[in-house]
Chain A
Amino acid sequence: MTAMAHLVAALRNPASVAALDSDQWSALISVARAEVLLGTLATRVAEQPLPPEVMALLGAARIAADQAQVQALWEAEMCARALERFAVEWTHSTTRKSRSTEKPLPLGLRFVLLKGTAYAAAGLSCAAGRQIGDLDILVSRDRLDAVEAALRDAGWEWVKDDPYDQAYYRQYMHELPPLIHSTRDRMIDVHHTILPLTARVTPDATSMLVDAVVLGNGLAILSPTDMVIHSAAHMFADGDLAGGLRNLWDMHFLLSDFASRDTGFWLALTLQAQRHGLWSAVHRAARLAHDIYGCDIPSDWVARTISHERGDAVFVARILARDDWGRETRPFIRLVFYIRSHMLRMPPFMLAKHLWTKWRAR
């Protein structure tokens, strides 16, 4: 078995690591790091008998992942304080604006946590041991200027300062150019929709903001169906599938958790995904989570056409394309995905112009 196969096996069935020899452990550690799943792996095998040097490494990795979550949630807290302070000043009021469910921020300054920070804030199963990077938030497009001003007022600055990149982000992408905090050195990505404006699919970001769920601590996350839809969109329609194993692990737990709480979840997910034009991506994500991680999905979701099968096989090959030293393999597939991801974001003539201008700037 390859190291990637061992990684999937270890996540699905932690007891399987008992059979690994030291070379296989070395390779497993490398691919887990490459897939940003070391903390997750460490959490899954925590109860298993492990060689001492592996136990020490994974124990430290778990602690590090937990610490990274503390810091990520703090970024969310500081973002909330920045926007809340701005909301108070913006409405010229000196009374305290509560972030409780009774008095939410005006829609315009509401922000919704996305991805890893959202999973951690909500205490979802996929957050266990998950390594979180930057803060991603979703805000209303017509309040982008106000949000930008509030964040810059509170100490965030632009990472990319050159005019071309600034223009590219604002005009074509689904987010502000990235901001980094001047003293804490942490990045924040402010999205106003979940796919680039130039993409062929245009999901409805406003309804996602309206349907957002406010947590006990005042922070907001997407509704369950929207969270799954966003994860699928991010996986297929947006990126080039880097980090696929981790995204599918998230998907596996999101689907399992939400389905177990609500028998109507699958139907609601189908309708909502169709509404956002992302049914194909959601269906594919569920099939792949089923294939790779054994996620329990309805039988009519498992059933697939020949075209589905061929497509799924290519996706699985891409997701598992890493050798025992952690390097990406199968470059032809990677190139196909890279071009595909850019094609999904931009019409061909714009793509050519963007790449030419960037090349010229070198």
Chain B
Amino acid sequence: MSHRHHFRVGPVGFRVASDWAGPIADLKRLYADYPTLEGCAATATARIEAARPWRRWVRPAVHIGGDYTIPDALPLPLSQGLLAAEMAMNLQVALGWRQHLLLHASAVERDGRAIIMVGASGSGKSTLAAMLGEGDWRLLGDEFAMLGLDDEQLSPFPRLISLKNESIAAMVACVPPERLGPIITGTPKGIIRHLVPRADAIARMDERATPALLLFPTFGGEAGLRPVPPSEAFMRLTDSSTNYVALGEPGFAALTRLVRDVPAVAIGYASSDQGVAAVEALWAELEA
């Protein structure tokens, strides 16, 4: 594991070690503008490694791990090494982070107020966040929304955005190439390409925001809009959280306050442009 890198994303200090140079080189390039740990301890350690020493070269299989691992997880081919590194980092946060309530959601901010977009893979939350983040919005994150336990503030966690399949082309057209990662094919979710957040998202990663809208987006199918009652929002949010149960009462308090104070809406949309327009319209109505 002779290849290493360390950097900070929001409240999390990562150190990453790898048996291969390629994924670390990718991380160094794509996270170049992120703060270093600056003499702070790493609070998340990720590792991507070969199961046996010779498997570094012979049919290399990249095992995802770190302080926290999932037993029996299948390794990835070396061509997907950057994806493995990102997954390893996600795993450390998902299984080990207890300082905020974690929601599997993307989030964007404007004027100190934030939209939280909650959904499983395929719901379109990453693409929506990426597109809004290139417009009038600051990206807070695309994988995890980190909700403070005492004060209901969102702490930004702007990692690389994971674009998939059709959503890649639209973003490639409007961002400079140095903000794009390698094209990764053959993954279980199809083609993946990573996008570095815009400079403002990185520079302002320590500026928190107040949640103002909870969105449950669904890509594909009928366009439409439906208010979500607090009980449904609450249940869907607990489902989307990896650490709600472990946090106990502070998690319960934070989530009940959130659904009490913040309106929740489900939107269906057939194209990303339609989705962005629907979000902007909804926001305008809210702010009126």
Contacts and interface: CB of A to CB of B under 8 A. Distances in A.
Interface of A: 22-23, 25-26, 29-30, 33-34, 51, 53-54, 56-57, 60-61, 63-64, 67-68, 70, 325-327
Nearest to B41: A25
Interface in B163-208: none
Instruction: Choose among B11, B39, B47, B67 the residue with the greatest number of A CB atoms under 10 Å from its CB.
Output: B67
11 contacts: A22-B41, A23-B41, A25-B41, A26-B15, A29-B43, A33-B96, A53-B41, A54-B41, A325-B45, A326-B67, A327-B47
Nearest to B250: A63
Given A64-B98, A64-B247, 16 more contacts: A22-B41, A23-B41, A25-B41, A26-B41, A29-B45, A30-B45, A33-B68, A53-B13, A53-B40, A53-B41, A57-B43, A57-B99, A60-B98, A61-B98, A63-B250, A325-B1
A141 to B, nearest CB: 31
B213 interface: no
Interface string B35-67: 001011111010100000000000000000001
B277 interface: no
B17 A325 contact: yes
A29 B37 CA distance: 15
Contacts of A29: 41-43, 45, 67
Contacts of B248: 63, 67, 70
The 6 closest A-B pairs by CB, nearest first: A25-B41, A60-B98, A67-B248, A26-B42, A33-B67, A60-B99
Given A53-B13, A67-B247, A68-B246, A26 B98 contact: no
A54 B1 CA distance: 25
A53 B8 CA distance: 12
B117 to A, nearest CB: 26
A51 B246 contact: no
Nearest to A34: B67
Contacts of B11: 56
A33 B95 CA distance: 12
Instruction: Choose among B37, B43, B47 the residue with the greatest number of A CB atoms under 10 Å from its CB.
Output: B43
B50 to A, nearest CB: 12
Contacts of A53: 13, 40-41, 43
Contacts of A57: 41, 43, 99
Contact of B47 (A54, A67, A70, A325): A325
Contact of B98 (A25, A54, A63, A70): A63
Nearest to B97: A60
Instruction: Choose among A33, A34, A57, A63 the residue with the greatest number of B CB atoms under 10 Å from its CB.
Output: A57
Contacts of B250: 63
A262 to B, nearest CB: 36
A56 B246 contact: no
A288 B13 CA distance: 36
A33 B41 CA distance: 14
Nearest to B15: A26
Nearest to A25: B41
Contacts of A67: 246-248
Nearest to B13: A53
Interface in B253-267: none
Nearest to B246: A64
A51 B98 contact: no
Contacts of A56: 11, 99
Given A26-B15, A33-B68, A67-B246, A326 B45 contact: yes
A327 B250 CA distance: 33
A24 to B, nearest CB: 8
Nearest to B98: A60
A307 B129 CA distance: 65
